[in-house]
Amino acid sequence: MASILERNKNVKAPKKTREEYAEDALYREVWEEVNNDKTQAFIKKYYRYILAAALGILIVATTVRIGINAYNAHKVAVATNYETAIANLDGNALAALAGNTSGAMSDLALFQSYILTNDVNKLEELAANGDTRDFRDLAKMHIASIRGDDMSGADLEKYLDDMNTKKSPFYYSSRLTIAQKYLSDGDRENANKWLDIIINDSDAPESISAAAQMLK
């Protein structure tokens, strides 16, 4: 027995009369007109908000694009100025560049400015306000080397205290420096304390561990 669906397929849709086609056309025309009227009324009522939203999107998109272009242009300018300063061995230009940039680039420029000018003030600025730990600690190690003779072992230990963590790239070097300072002060007890820290640490670099064992 054929199903209802199968029977329905075999039933031909009745042809519309000319009057019915005309009625359909009139209905569509009226429907489109009504929708157009509604659309126009909506736009008329809210056009200020629509324009404001569109303008806001345009402003945001333009601002983002300008910001990206300006950022890229700044990066290119920084790289160019850095290369020029290095090529000219211009420590003052590197110091100026450090003040106009941030991050590792700023720290590198300031450290290289110190190398070229031998101005310890630049090291102190880097040690106090550097953006990256690596360069801050590097500056401190240089300052300890330059001014270590004017410090006691306790003073040097306090100065390098923030390197007493393996997050510092100079953790082991700073420990060895402190031990050497205590030895130069004739304080064997405190020196051995720091040397033992290095010797008993399996992660200590071989060269530093060997130096600690020789001093022990």
**How much is the mean pLDDT over the chain?**
76
pTM assigned to the model: 0.60
Predicted pLDDT at 115: 84
pLDDT at 22 over 60: no
**Mean local confidence (pLDDT), 27-41:** 53
pLDDT band at 100 (very low <50, low <70, confident <90, very high): confident
What tens digit of pLDDT does each residue of 126-170 get? 999 999 999 999 999 999 999 988 999 999 999 999 999 999 999
How far are the Cα atoms of 13, 14, 23, 39, 147 from residue 28, in angstroms, in the given order?
21, 21, 9, 16, 93
Burial of 11 (0-12, 13-18, 19+ CB in 10 A): exposed
Predicted pLDDT at 203: 93
Q: Where are the domains of the chain?
A: 151-216
Predicted pLDDT at 78: 54
Q: Which long-range contacts (CB under 8 A, 24 or more apart) does 89-95 make?
A: 89/116, 90/116, 91/115, 91/116, 91/117, 91/119, 92/117, 95/122
pLDDT at 23 over 70: no
Lowest mean pLDDT across 46-60, 98-112, 123-137: 46-60
